[in-house]
Amino acid sequence: MLPSVKNLLSIEELSQKEVLDILSLAATMKKERGRHSVQPLKSQVWALIFSKSSTRTRVSFEVGVRELGGDVMFLSANDIQLGRGEPIRDTARVLGRMIHGAIIRTFAQQDVVDFASFSGIPTINALTDQEHPCQILADLQTIEEKRGSLEGVKVCFVGDGDCNVARSWMWAAKKLGFEIRVAAPEKYRPSKDFLDSLAYPVQVTEDCDAAAAGADVLYTDVWISMGKEEESALRLAELKDYQVNEKLLAQAAPDALVMHCLPAYRGKEITDEIMEAHAPTIFQQAENRLHAQKAILAMVAR
């Protein structure tokens, strides 16, 4: 019997056991790719409903659903009535009567919560403004593979400390009990409300070197998240000192991993040299999206 969860809406909602179950199944999915004995999505149709661009998430879910025996349709929010203002709850009530599961990339976290509750079908958060849970689960799998274990890992996130990826990292740290530091300018700190709800110690500082000191993982993400394009010029100026580069990496542990969720903007949040030197880790993260998400699909499928 596979362990199960109802939906995958956030890391926040997962228990420690659920995180560990996903990681364990993700390792099995990776090992047994191409020769899975069970097809948990057999005869099922899943929809990807995306309001934002995607390469990795879209492709890994489309491949993953098919590898688990299911069929998949991609619905760009602009091409369905959702984009013309049909409420998410009505979209959910229609799709819930036709398909077996939904994978949603959108802006508001409440939209994936509402979709799950009004559709009654398994729902997966493929990125919202608030969290990017599938990414961080694949990243945890990558760290486990690279270091042998997540035990005692010190993770330093550099850049926009209030973005979806940073938030999912902080939740993951709480769930698994590891050390998390965030280096960000004052304006891009995780919000007080967020830190209050997290209720877990996070070292938040404007001092990149202090945050990176002795870290096992230096993690960065784009400075301009999807939906923030209007702030591009401001963000490039305000985040320019929060770059993963050779000087910063010198502060970290000698064998530190450099990680990036991608897409990467060389010369902005990461230098070309560091990106290329750490490409094996960074593209392993990208590959693990497939394996981790297959584990998630298998666990939420009914």
**Positions that interact with ligand NVA (CB under 6 A):** 127, 132, 163-165, 221-222, 225-226, 261
Instruction: Determine, following the binding rule CB under 6 A, whether residue 262 of this chain makes contact with ligand CP.
Output: yes
Instruction: Determine, following the binding rule CB under 6 A, whether residue 261 of this chain makes contact with ligand CP.
Output: yes
Judged by CB under 6 A, the number of residues near ligand CP is 8
Please tell me the distance from the alpha carbon of residue 297 to that of residue 66, in angstroms, as a whole number.
11
61 CB-near residues (< 8 Å, 6+ apart): 46, 48, 72, 103, 124, 126, 293, 297
DSSP-assigned letters across all residues of 173-206: HHHHT-EEEEE--GGGSPPHHHHHHH-S--EEES
- Which of ligand CP, ligand NVA, none has residue 80 at its interface (CB below 5 to 8 Å by kind)? none
Q: Per CB under 6 A, which region of 12-20, 52-60, 151-159, 171-179 contacts ligand CP? A: 52-60
In the annotation, is 189 catalytic? no
In the annotation, is 132 catalytic? yes
Please tell me the distance from the alpha carbon of residue 289 to that of residue 283, in angstroms, as a whole number.
10
In the annotation, is 260 catalytic? no
In the annotation, is 93 catalytic? no
CB of 100 to ligand NVA, least distance (A): 26
In the annotation, is 135 catalytic? yes
- Which of ligand CP, ligand NVA, none has residue 164 at its interface (CB below 5 to 8 Å by kind)? ligand NVA
Residues 170 and 198: beta-carbon distance below 8 Å:
yes
- Which of ligand CP, ligand NVA, none has residue 150 at its interface (CB below 5 to 8 Å by kind)? none
Closest listed residue to residue 51, CA positions, set 84, 2, 17: 84
* Contacting ligand CP within 55-84 (CB under 6 A): 55-57
In this structure, is the dihedral angle defined by the CA atoms of residues 48, 53, 58 and 60, taken in order, positive or negative? Answer: negative
- Which of ligand NVA, ligand CP, none has residue 55 at its interface (CB below 5 to 8 Å by kind)? ligand CP
Q: Which residue is nearest to ligand CP (CB)?
A: 57
Closest listed residue to residue 265, CA positions, set 250, 237, 244: 244
Q: Provide the β-strand partners of residue 83.
A: none
Give me 148's structure tokens.
């042998």
Chain residues in the site for ligand CP (CB under 6 A): 54-57, 127, 135, 261-262
Hey, which residues are catalytic here? 105, 132, 135, 221, 261, 289
